[in-house]
Amino acid sequence: MKRQARVHRLAMSSPDDVSGLTGGIDPDAVVAVIGKTEGNGCVNDFTRAFAVRALTDALPRPGITMVMSGGTEGALSPHMLVLEAGMGAGASPALAIGTARTPALPPEGLGSAAQVQIVAEGVRAAMADAGITDPGQVHFVQIKCPLLTAGRVAEAEARGQSAATRDTLKSMGLSRGASALGVALALEEITAGEVGDLSLWSARASTSAGIELLDHEIVVLGMSDGWCGDLVVDHAVMADQIDIVPVRDCLDRLGFAPGVQIGRDEQPRLVALLAKAEAGSTGTLRGYRHTMLEDSDISSTRHARGFVGGALAAMVGHGQIYVSGGAEHQGPDGGGPVAIIARRKGTS
Amino acid sequence: MKRQARVHRLAMSSPDDVSGLTGGIDPDAVVAVIGKTEGNGCVNDFTRAFAVRALTDALPRPGITMVMSGGTEGALSPHMLVLEAGMGAGASPALAIGTARTPALPPEGLGSAAQVQIVAEGVRAAMADAGITDPGQVHFVQIKCPLLTAGRVAEAEARGQSAATRDTLKSMGLSRGASALGVALALEEITAGEVGDLSLWSARASTSAGIELLDHEIVVLGMSDGWCGDLVVDHAVMADQIDIVPVRDCLDRLGFAPGVQIGRDEQPRLVALLAKAEAGSTGTLRGYRHTMLEDSDISSTRHARGFVGGALAAMVGHGQIYVSGGAEHQGPDGGGPVAIIARRKGTS
Amino acid sequence: MKRQARVHRLAMSSPDDVSGLTGGIDPDAVVAVIGKTEGNGCVNDFTRAFAVRALTDALPRPGITMVMSGGTEGALSPHMLVLEAGMGAGASPALAIGTARTPALPPEGLGSAAQVQIVAEGVRAAMADAGITDPGQVHFVQIKCPLLTAGRVAEAEARGQSAATRDTLKSMGLSRGASALGVALALEEITAGEVGDLSLWSARASTSAGIELLDHEIVVLGMSDGWCGDLVVDHAVMADQIDIVPVRDCLDRLGFAPGVQIGRDEQPRLVALLAKAEAGSTGTLRGYRHTMLEDSDISSTRHARGFVGGALAAMVGHGQIYVSGGAEHQGPDGGGPVAIIARRKGTS
Amino acid sequence: MKRQARVHRLAMSSPDDVSGLTGGIDPDAVVAVIGKTEGNGCVNDFTRAFAVRALTDALPRPGITMVMSGGTEGALSPHMLVLEAGMGAGASPALAIGTARTPALPPEGLGSAAQVQIVAEGVRAAMADAGITDPGQVHFVQIKCPLLTAGRVAEAEARGQSAATRDTLKSMGLSRGASALGVALALEEITAGEVGDLSLWSARASTSAGIELLDHEIVVLGMSDGWCGDLVVDHAVMADQIDIVPVRDCLDRLGFAPGVQIGRDEQPRLVALLAKAEAGSTGTLRGYRHTMLEDSDISSTRHARGFVGGALAAMVGHGQIYVSGGAEHQGPDGGGPVAIIARRKGTS
């Protein structure tokens, strides 16, 4: 008997729909829930907290990491991934899951080298929890990180400290970026780095900021000999919003039949796709101007999720995939990491 | 010497940017301009009219069809296709272009069988203008059709007539739908049909409603022995928002090398891609719920353009493609027609 | 000892903020909560349900009517009004509160004469609960009514019935309108009426549609000799979005000092202002065109709440007022009812 | 014979509607056009440029200042004010109009003390043009100022200079703020000042940034003995979004009958109302939280225009008023200047 990961992908009919949790799920084995809700994914998106409240009522055991990402633009479909860590027998190495929480970050530390360090240590702890020692075995690190509020900035200032910004929306980007650099540091993708230097990035970090925490919740997905079972994970990096060739290469490595779209017969094997998307800083895609950064009616993160979501959904044959916006230091400028969890060929 | 079509794809830095018209374009040969501008593509999108005003100043010769479609969501890129019909020598059959205008439609006729008929006759006239007799040689029909305004409804009522709706936005859909059925009738895809019967559709119609006309402007793109040159056109039909396999089959027929994305070396051969996109009526994509129809912050047409735009841009390797929203009777429910203009293999 | 109404106006720092319920509130006396949350107030506004979930956890006793209205545009401020019905001594007549629920309405009845009747009977029951026999003593009737979903329409069709519309957003308007006519019928403002006849309306109805119920929750506010205490209620009707003179007349009747804005010293006396707002059907305000109905980026209900909210907030001197959108049959076309709850002069 | 100002307030049925210019207007006397168009008033608002293009075609004489402000939220009505400076006889002092343009501002100067100085000199030139020597006679200064684009920033950097920001939207605020301080300096409201110090502001500045210029266009409105006629101007300052008492005091000074709203009989006397509005930096209005700064679906400038527009439209009795968003250094934080042009009592 070894540890064995199970992943359930559940449709959500509304942000507070937890009806999918009944049947086939062992509440005691659940270690994390990662999901997409149908809000705007920006500052005033309450669908994330609404979902977490319903999930917490349904899964009241403490210590379960819950990361909800808002925004299901286009035909992206609200859903959640329920991650279990149980015991079983089967092939190894297999998908390994580890979680960790960091100490609380004081407001003045947000976006700083201190946050990078604290997250790097947290990622190492989550790797240890997963039994992964080689950073090369890690394929995806999902982090929920804090943001600044007016109250938090004031609290820091009352102690004679100053925060990096007073702009709540901007603080989300700074926190996501510092957290991603923390991942890059722990995974030895960089040796040191400054938030804002866009040449530095992690190929495996996915970070989301939330108002409901002061520390960091971390989920590491990797491959480990200490785990067994049908599930495996691999990853790719998109260099821009339509860089699908590396994603297709990843599908090749996972044994999916060639083609522009996964066929119906193979879809049960594709358990989950998780990706980050962003407009990038240049205002162009391969030399052609786009308008995501100048649209004052729709946030660029909404544009990016819908567009990249279309590119990726077309590859896998459906829209029940996790595409999250705001990819600071997560993949190169304009691009983002993609992780795929699949059943081994011949097992579904 | 035969007739020869030329197509120029020009970037637009703003809706009124016509600077691309200088150099390489013969104003006397221009018969149509089809473009994407960066508005919301809905009722209060003035970027279309702004572009047409600038184009009309730059190309003052009467009779040039100008169809601007609003909405460049995601990394879609504002651009225009300038279609010339000149003379030349070269291979046949080749891309043929025909245009026509219908008589004015009284307001009470909008969305009715009368509109279907008047458009069908207009399409036949445009086919004749292109020298196409076989409907099977037609690959794309772009139509600009009228819409209802409060004033037009009142004018009809003053004559004792009644209009199909008082809702301006709804009238756009009715007009697009009736125009698409007119195309289907002319192309012998259907023998008769009622607006609203979603089982009836054209595989080659692309219709947009505009406030600036009371008749219909029609552009037919097809293949004809009477035309020569490097350019060819083909089409596909997407059955839903991610149905990219038929599009890839179309690329195969046009001789593009296999793969999930057209390589840089082949991109000069892909002159233009034109597609229609919509959310569809079911609220789902392949069984998974999407939220396009319930989003009161972003119109479903904007969602659909961005998402389908991502799927198609990923295939061709850039976002300078024409993706238009609102596909009533244009392809099946939730899907839409796609046309590709390419240079013959070995010619670019 | 007579019945005595108490009204607490509580700020909300987020949709699930119920922290204001501690201190000074008798949970056993609470009969209704009416509030404004910061969503878009349209179909995909989950802040209402999030607030109700938090309220239900905080006030678990069954039978408390909870009506949350989404949309705090401009400087409108999220807040809730907690209505208590206790016992006390003091002046009469005074503010009286009554509540009722109707039987469930089958989907095919939505927007029909049957809904008008069922609501009229419910309003009469709520009046009886409040001890009000004279319809002239009623100043405000708040109703939460059902809407149609795809599932509900299908259920009706499975029984061979048909629903008034398949459009969820439109069903909200039909339900609000029929409910308002039910109020008008019970209050003897009309003797009969058809949904859609804009000449028929109630001067005292405020109706909101919600997905979470199939029946109607009704709160009646009026003046009654059977109630005592400091609180009184009066109402006005705005004929259009800026018709503030009748509201000022109402303030005059309530004894507020003359002026364009209530002074700081008098603000404790103004307990609550509740109003309905809408764009109206004409597209104009006093002959000048507005653009609320043509804006495809912002719903007209959001425009109307912000604009009318500005006019009313300027009168009372702050933005913690209840302004709800969608005023079908609630006041004349483009206008809406306004109710003011105040402390008697000399009592605060 | 003295100089005489005339002001025409013309409805616009669309951004390019200049049909109101026919009849009663002397094209040779027009010195400025100030208007509201129905775009979003933010970065991608092309209705301003579309209007200016139509106006320039209709009024081709060079030197006419054209300032279009986007955003007619709520029941604000698209319109333009056409300002003429002719000759006539009548009472003095009267409304005086002066215009000026500054030299071009290099990109690195935007938001700096240099911009403050250059604008101050321009305002003095416009005052001289109007024949006003006493800054106390100036009641409103409308300025159109430049903004930064990626290209302009790059051009500065190529010369070894750096711009204040790379964020286009942010550059609009910096330019508006520096221009407002320039007005304050010229009008001797401040003696020196730094952009960003919110304690410094002008009670009479109204500034809008536009992409179409590199210098500043300035219109000064004041009272002068050198001008004659029926028109007068006065101003007020709102301390926050609902501070209408000073506006009412201004109406009192202009002789309007007391009341919460100007009656129909007096409306011909109220020629124009021009105001600035903003959300302010505190996130509250008189102690109550608002949500304008956290709404990721609607820009805070749109919220502020609609809400303040409602407060002011309710005072004057219609929505054909000029309310512009983004009031950096224009009035105190959260407030803004208001100017009213009226006919002398007894003259309309």
Distance CA D220, CA D211 (A): 22
Per-residue pLDDT tens listing for chain A (348 residues) = 999 999 999 999 999 999 999 878 999 999 999 999 999 998 899 999 999 999 999 999 999 999 999 999 999 999 999 999 999 999 999 999 999 999 999 999 999 999 999 999 999 999 999 999 999 999 999 999 999 988 888 899 999 999 998 888 889 999 999 999 999 999 999 998 777 788 899 999 999 998 888 999 999 999 999 999 999 999 999 999 999 999 999 999 999 999 999 999 999 999 999 999 999 999 999 999 999 999 999 999 999 999 999 999 999 999 999 999 999 999 999 999 999 999 998 765
Q: Which chains touch A (3 or more CB pairs under 8 A)?
A: B, C, D
CB contact under 8 Å between A44 and D283, yes or no, is no
CA distance C41 to chain B (A): 9
C-alpha–C-alpha distance, residues D185 and D171, integer Å: 21
pLDDT tens digits for B257-299? 999 999 999 999 999 999 999 999 999 999 999 999 999 999 9
Q: What is the spatial distance between Cα B311 and Cα A308, in angstroms, rounded to a whole number?
A: 8
State pLDDT tens for residues A268-281: 999 999 999 999 99
B-chain residues within 8 Å CB-CB of A9? none
Confidence band, pLDDT 50/70/90 cuts, at residue B19: very high
Q: How far is D70 from chain C (nearest CA, A)?
A: 12
Look at residues C254, C251, C304 and name the one whose alpha carbon lies nearest to residue C279: C304
For D327, the token pair is: 């009031």
Picking from D287, D292, D297, the nearest residue to C74 by CB comes out as D292
CA–CA gap between residue C289 and residue D75 (Å, rounded): 8
CA–CA dist A132, A227 (Å, integer): 10
Contact call for residues B241 and B335 (beta carbons, < 8 A): yes
Q: Does B196 touch chain C (CB under 8 A)?
A: no
Known catalytic residues of C are 144, 208
**Residue D56: is it exposed, middle or buried by C-beta count within 10 angstroms (0-12/13-18/19+)?**
middle
ipTM of this predicted structure:
0.96
B348: pLDDT strictly greater than 60? no
Q: Could you say which of B11, B245, B285 has the minimum Cβ distance to residue A261?
A: B245
Put simply, the answer to whether C53 touches A49 (Cβ < 8 Å) is: no
Q: What percent of chain D has pLDDT over 70?
A: 99
The four Cα atoms A138, A139, A142, A147 give a dihedral, to 10 degrees, of 80
Q: CA-CA distance, C165 to C171, in Å (whole number)?
A: 6
pLDDT at A98: 98
**Cβ of residue D76 closer than 8 Å to a chain C Cβ:** yes
Min Cα distance B25 → chain A (Å) is: 21
| Nearest CA-CA partner of B210 in B105, B73, B140 | B105
Confidence of residue C347 (pLDDT cuts 50, 70, 90): low
The answer for C 275-314 residues in CB contact with D (under 8 A) is 279, 285-292, 294-295, 297-298, 302-304, 306-311, 313-314
Beta bridge partners of A324: A276
Chain C residues with CB under 8 Å of D241 CB are 74-75, 310, 313
pLDDT for D230-247, tens place per residue? 999 999 999 999 999 999
**B42 contact C CB<8A:** yes
Closest CA to C98 of C59, C66, C141, C34: C141
Smallest CA–CA distance from A170 into chain D, residue:
D294
Cβ distance of A288 and B314 shorter than 8 Å: no
Q: Rounded to whole angstroms, how far apart are CA atoms B191 and B176?
A: 18
- Is the minimum CB–CB distance between A44 and chain D shorter than 8 Å? yes
Interval A296-317: pLDDT, tens: 999 999 999 999 999 999 999 9
Alpha-carbon span C7 to C268, nearest angstrom: 12
Q: Do C38 and A16 touch (CB under 8 A)?
A: no
Q: Tell the residue number behind the tokens 């901007």, with chain if given.
A: A170
Out of A289, A292, A304, the one facing B13 most closely (by C-beta) is: A289
- D15 in contact with chain B, both atoms CB, cutoff 8 A: yes
Q: What is the pLDDT, as a whole number, of residue B347?
A: 67
Q: Are B5 and B231 in contact (CB under 8 A)?
A: yes
| C-alpha pair distances (Å), A167 with each of A59, A173, D283, D294 | 34, 10, 12, 10
pLDDT digits 0-9 by tens, B149-187: 888 888 999 999 999 988 888 899 999 999 999 999 999
Verify whether the Cβ–Cβ distance C46 to A44 is below 8 Å: no
Question: Which one of the listed residues A202, A206, A208, A300 is annotated catalytic?
Answer: A208
The verdict on whether omega for the bond into residue C62 sits within 30 degrees of 0, i.e. cis, is no
Residue B305 predicted with pLDDT over 60: yes
Q: Is the separation of the CB atoms in C172 and C326 below 8 Å?
A: yes
Distance CA C331, CA B86 (A): 63
Residue of B38, B47, B53 with shortest CB distance to D53: B53
Give contacts of C241 with chain D, Cβ < 8 Å: 74-75, 310, 313
| Tens digits of residue pLDDT in A228-259 | 999 999 999 999 999 999 999 999 999 999 99
> Which residues neighbour A154 within 8 Å (Cβ) at sequence distance 6 or greater?
none
Q: Which of D144, D206, D299, D324 is catalytic?
A: D144
Cis peptide preceding A93, ω within 30 of 0? yes
Mean pLDDT, chain A, rounded, equals 95
User: Distance (Å, rounded) from C-alpha D256 to C-alpha C63?
Assistant: 53
Which residues of chain C have a CB within 8 Å of the CB of A16?
Answer: 46, 49-50, 53
β strands within chain B, DSSP E = 2-11, 30-37, 65-70, 79-88, 94-101, 138-145, 205-209, 217-224, 227-228, 231-238, 270-277, 284-285, 288-289, 322-325, 336-343
Of all residues in chain D, the one with the smallest CA distance to C289 is: D77
Nearest to B306 by CA among B33, B45, B144, B73: B73
**B44 to C296: CB separation less than 8 angstroms, yes or no:** yes
**pLDDT for the residue numbered B170:** 86
Q: Which residues of chain D have pLDDT under 70?
A: 347-348
